[in-house]
Amino acid sequence: MSSDEDIVGRVVFGESRGEPIEGQRAVAYTIVNRTNHPGFPNSVWEVANQRTASGGHQYETLDLDSHNSAWNDHKRGNTQEYRNAMSASRDALSRRKPDPTNGATSFNQSPGPNKTRIENHYFYRY
């Protein structure tokens, strides 16, 4: 497993675990899409570790001890939730499955113009 797979899997797990694979793959693709967008860093590690103006991670679950603990527990146990997050990560990084977001670089839980709903999130481009 590459470190990029692990980083993307961790974000997917934190942001969309429990969702069907398409929702998890959509979250994974936002990271990949950011690496190819001029407004973001060009590596997976830099995108995942990008900070907001307040100092927290862009992907907020990376700052939550409860999510870090859950990720480590599920990873150690090789649970289905862990395997699903890693599958979505590999799908996006290898582009072996199509991007359900059509190039989205961001997501949130608020509907709006130019946003596409996939499972529990709304995806859009900057």
Report the interhelical angle of 3-16 vs 65-77 (nearest 10°): 120
Beta bridge partners of 118: 121
pLDDT for the residue numbered 47? 95
- What are the extents of the domains in the chain? 3-124
pLDDT 10s digits, 23-70: 999 999 999 999 999 999 999 999 999 998 999 888 888 888 998 999
Among residues of the chain, what percentage have pLDDT more than 70?
98
Mean pLDDT of the chain: 94
